[in-house]
A and B are shown apart, each in its own frame.
Chain A
């Protein structure tokens, strides 16, 4: 879109402002509500919003006296993209609308009258808004309402309209007028969705304010008239973020802190029925929440490193409660939609008196506000400094891990003095190193909720899967181990590294085990959901799959076989996750895990080491059912 740019002189200082409904600004500055305005000088009646924002921000940074506004604008925009420059210069030279609008001594000028006339009936501004501008009481009510609806939000124009259509339909038509007043009142920040390049010491490329990405593309734009208006290619899935697109944000309130200043008490933990290991870790996290935030560039972070099957959801309940007790807002974000869907009813049940809003691509409750928000990480782009506590579950799962866009969005969603808690069974190496260096506050939950040790993977040496398929036979060591698992009545997860190996391996297995139901599934299988259900209900006994099922699927009485465990597609985290499918139930806590491969790789060694270490900690802390009681 285009926005007007003007300079207003209050006392002896000039200020540069942008406007999407100049009539509101004219009334605001001349009515006396804003104090001591002397002169209003129109710089442009409408230029691409991105340029307008850039000029405004540049003026704020410089704050000096300007003699020739046209020259100043020309200078301010000269770093724009080469394709745009020519247009800019033409624009500024030809703009006959620019000039004095109002002077306290002599009143309105002809330019102002012209502007006022032009603005009624143009560009979504309707005559009815004019009466609104005159009936100031109603306009003020609307401005306050819009600002309230946008608390903690970061929305593009199209998203604002969706929100209004749902939450305040009567505001839909005149939103520009109301937004402009809210902006003048200081309740609402208006900016462009893309941030321009920054020169000087802290050099920065142009980037998306919503997702932080620098992946921009320039095209001719009919919204603002620029021949090379940039848009962000990284976050297109959430609506187009463009150099001339309006981004609306609210001023942040300072964060609250978990049950402020008090040490976590037994009472805070009592009602959740946690195991000793869960209690200790949750206690440490509560201590972290209660500590006052330090002044820092980013929110404080805490890692809950809980082994697979530790029951981490129960552990976050007391943390959520402590923030709710101080009337704060909590966000639980996870990269995986299925996790959101699974968590939602559990959170709602644990906090029956709170409103929980559940957000994912295509979800119904897109604009509902809740004291607890559950969302996939992409949805975080619609928030700005909204949450006192952000919990990121399955931190290391696709696509959050290695996606700077989602990490950026999570940081922006958290209040700058808010707190972060990460949950993971297999934290990324970077975080593990921070722990070793003592730089990351954390707590480990080394034991499962049933208090039995994690199954330690055993090794079978065998040829590569490709070779087995070629020879059309499986090694006897593998067959025997599988036989033992079948015999003990276990459900068998058999992981392979490549999708193309699934079908041939299923065929080979059927040759040896013709009497049990065997199936294969992958990310490309549309019947995956049904097969997983059949596997859970033991209608399928042996399921051949890839890392797609390394997380989330929990089946009682299960054994895990990982073929080609030496493949570089299986890293330490992935091996630990797959091994974590075994022994999950109380009735069968000691499942078998087999690493079958030719080589004994570093990843396999590290995975076994990690599992053994957790068992050792669990033992020495007395968390295991059969470890000697301490105290």
Chain B
């Protein structure tokens, strides 16, 4: 046994370095330098380079955003890194349900790409688009202790570290909801009201951010980046954004909520 361990270390020393790809488990000589998965897996990623819908960031035409009801939306817009296909579903499942937390870094890197795309899209010669802080869609306590982590929070906190933008938990989830997929569109939207509430320290934290600006620079409206793993109908992020905007109004602090999600279904 000892000898075997020794020999293994010797073998590792002489044989060329071989990496195992996180997503396909194949052993390859070199991983993609930016994403750290193999080139083959990198090629299969269905990036949304240019969204067809300027509102929800969808890669294909979308009837939802032109409906009259859509005018009530609370987010400015959503941008997503990838289209949610079978492969992306598998990656998210590996992370969220299997609990393979190695995926956090990969998904966050992918998310960062959409963020830089967003920055490029909204910044022009007259206007520098800047996010003041990042927040995330919360999960319930029960879910949190079952899973051990909140994927949206993890993605947000890695992005916050990489982009040096503060991450502030602003929201809480009140109760457990029945699985979304069993419900109609109308039911979902109804249900979303009242699920989220402001975190007890949220108002103070928002004030702190505002106060950190000197009086000469006008930071208003504050721009918040709301992070989640997946955007389906937008009801979740809109419910969150509603609460944030209401809080902003009561503080005389106009807000814009931009939504950044890893996948658009």
Binding site for B on A (CB under 8 A): 1, 123-124, 158, 217, 219-223, 229, 231, 233, 236-237, 240, 242
Contact = CB atoms under 8 A, between A and B. Distances in A.
A233 B103 CA distance: 12
Contacts of A217: 101-102
Contacts of A229: 148
A6 to B, nearest CB: 22
A223 B101 CA distance: 15
22 contacts: A123-B145, A124-B142, A217-B101, A217-B102, A219-B101, A219-B148, A219-B149, A221-B149, A222-B144, A222-B145, A222-B147, A222-B150, A223-B145, A223-B147, A229-B148, A231-B101, A233-B100, A233-B102, A236-B98, A236-B100, A240-B98, A240-B148
A222 B148 contact: yes
B98 A223 contact: no
Given A158-B146, A233-B100, 6 more contacts: A219-B101, A219-B148, A222-B145, A222-B149, A229-B148, A240-B99
Contacts of B98: 236-237, 240
B99 A1 contact: no
B99 A223 contact: no
A1 B145 contact: yes
B149 A220 contact: yes
Interface in B117-162: 142, 144-150
A48 to B, nearest CB: 11
B22 to A, nearest CB: 11
A85 B131 CA distance: 36
B138 to A, nearest CB: 11
A158 B99 CA distance: 13
Nearest to A242: B148
Contacts of A220: 149
Nearest to B99: A240
A222 B148 CA distance: 4
Contact of A236 (B99, B142, B145, B146): B99
Nearest to B153: A222
Contacts of B142: 124
B241 to A, nearest CB: 24
Contacts of B148: 219, 221-223, 229, 240, 242
Nearest to B150: A222
Nearest to B104: A219
- Which 4 residue pairs spanning A and B have beta carbons closest together? A240-B99, A223-B145, A222-B144, A223-B148
A53 B96 CA distance: 27
Contacts of A237: 98
Contacts of B101: 217, 219, 231
Contacts of B147: 222-223
Q: Which of the listed residues B100, B142, B144 has the most CB atoms from chain A within 10 Å of its own CB?
A: B100
A231 B100 CA distance: 9
B99 A231 contact: yes
Contacts of A158: 146
A473 to B, nearest CB: 33
Contacts of A221: 148-149
Contacts of A242: 148
A193 to B, nearest CB: 12
Residue among B98, B99, B147 with the most chain A CB within 10 A? B99
Nearest to B94: A236
B264 to A, nearest CB: 27
Contacts of B146: 158, 223
A52 to B, nearest CB: 16
Interface in B196-220: none
Most chain A CB atoms below 10 A, which of B98, B99, B148, B150 = B148
Contacts of A233: 100, 102
A104 to B, nearest CB: 36
A221 B144 CA distance: 9
A341 B9 CA distance: 40
B150 to A, nearest CB: 7
Nearest to A238: B98
B173 to A, nearest CB: 13
Interface in B86-126: 98-102
A220 B101 CA distance: 10
Contacts of A240: 98-99, 148
A303 to B, nearest CB: 22
A107 to B, nearest CB: 34
Nearest to A157: B146
Nearest to B157: A220
Contacts of A123: 145
Nearest to A237: B98
Nearest to B98: A236
A219 B101 CA distance: 8
A158 B145 CA distance: 12
Contacts of A219: 101, 148-149
B184 to A, nearest CB: 26
A403 to B, nearest CB: 14
A242 B101 CA distance: 12
A565 to B, nearest CB: 25
B36 to A, nearest CB: 15
Contacts of B102: 217, 233
Nearest to A229: B148
Contacts of B144: 222-223
Contacts of B145: 1, 123, 222-223
A273 B98 CA distance: 47
